[in-house]
Structures are given as C-alpha cells and as structure tokens.
Amino acid sequence: AQSVAQPEDQVNVAEGNPLTVKCTYSVSGNPYLFWYVQYPNRGLQFLLKYITGDNLVKGSYGFEAEFNKSQTSFHLKKPSALVSDSALYFCATLPYSSASKIIFGSGTRLSIRP
Amino acid sequence: GAVVSQHPSWVICKSGTSVKIECRSLDFQATTMFWYRQFPKQSLMLMATSNEGSKATYEQGVEKDKFLINHASLTLSTLTVTSAHPEDSSFYICSARVSSGKETQYFGPGTRLLVL
C-alpha cells in the first residue's frame, strides 16, 4: 500500500537552531512528494514538492527538503528556526501523476521555543 | 497565485438543518476539487473527489446522501451537509488541483462547523 510515515508526533527546537521534520515514504514507482504546513484553525499551505531532478528542493519560508531514494525519505529542514515556524506539518505523496489521490502522513507538530 | 477560498469560515447551526460550504479557486481553473474532514489533532481524511461536470466520487464510509457535493464550474465546488447532527461537527477543508496537469493541490482555509 502507498503510504507516508511521520515518526514524530512532536518536535521541539530552540529558536535559531536547525530543525528537521522526518518523513519516509512507501510508494511504488517514482513518488511525487510534498510538504504542507497548517497553522491553527487554518487550511494547509503548500511549502514545497519533489517530482524529479535535484534531490534538494527549496520551498517557502526558508524550508527545504532532501529526497533520498535509498532511504525512502523526504525530511523537511530549515537552518535556523523561528518561533513563527511553530505549526503542524504534513508530508504527503501522490503515487501517480494527476489521477490519484494525495496521501497524507499523520502530521508532526513543530514547537519552536524562544 | 493559486488561491483557494472557502465560505463560510465558521458556521453554527441547529441539529437537523442543512449547511452549505463553498470552495472557490480564485485565480486558476480546477477540474478536480477535493473535500476533507479533519478531527482535532488528526490528519486530513479525504471525503470525496469532485470533478467539474460529473458526479463526485466518495470514499468508503462517507454517505453521499449526507454530504452532497456539486462541482458546477471550474472554479466552484460546494459541500452541503444535510440534516446535520452534532457528530458532523468538524473542520472541513477543500482543495483544488490546477487544470493544467500540475500535481500540486492548493487548500482552502477551512470551515469549522459546529452543530448544536
């Protein structure tokens, strides 16, 4: 079955430190991978996506993610965390282009302390 | 670009009434729109996939007569919760996929429904 896993329910980081939010995938074929962020009582905002090409993808708000095929991972990273980055982050995959339904991970709550 | 709006953002209604939620793609055409439901501290649960001009495809366990979906144009889809009950209280989120074939889904801000 196609799936994405976010092994951490919560990640706590001090402001200014680097952050990593983990995601692994299990998808047949070449995966389309996404990261979305959700602020309280809001919908999801698109951060970045990987379809093909360079394994390091840069997205909104200084976030980036690295596609690692051998480890089937797509971890979200940021060099220096901000308190405003505190939110709920979802990793997602679209197993095949256009026709299929996006599959979300369970979400990771990121908390940045001042 | 790629903005999706939802209206209303909040709705409180009495049990037994019907509630309509609108989802609009403001600056792009969307052949496909999706409706999700999100419970507190949980991920999004796909309810149905809506293609413009055709009947929606519902996920297993979602009552199509309870959650009516209409996708009459490339920029508008509506979800009507019929005869709402307290257990229908939830956060409903729509998303839209760009018609040009790009795979990214863009999400609306969500609608919080409270049924008393």
Extract the tokens encoding A41: 């009582």
Mean pLDDT, residues A15-21 taken together: 97
Residue A51's pLDDT is 87
CB–CB contact A106 B43 (8 Å):
yes
**A86-105 pLDDT per residue, tens:** 999 999 998 765 456 788 99
Contact status, residue A23 vs residue B73, Cβ threshold 8 Å: no
B101, pLDDT greater than 60: no
Q: What gap in Å lies between CA B91 and CA B86, rounded to an integer?
A: 13
Residue A36's pLDDT is 95
Mean pLDDT, residues B68-87 taken together: 93
**A25-52 pLDDT per residue, tens:** 998 777 889 999 998 878 889 999 998 8
CB–CB contact B93 A107 (8 Å):
no
Instruction: Give buried/exposed letters for A73-86 (b at 16+ CB in 10 A, else e).
Output: bbbbebeebeeebb
CB–CB contact A44 B103 (8 Å):
no
Q: Give the CA count within 13 Å in the CB-facing half-sphere of A27.
A: 27
* Count of Cβ atoms closer than 10 Å to residue B73 Cβ: 13
Looking at chain A, the whole-number percentage of residues with pLDDT higher than 70 is 95
Mutate to test the interface with B, among A23, A102, A104, A111 (most CBs of B within 10 A): A102
Residue type at position A89? Y
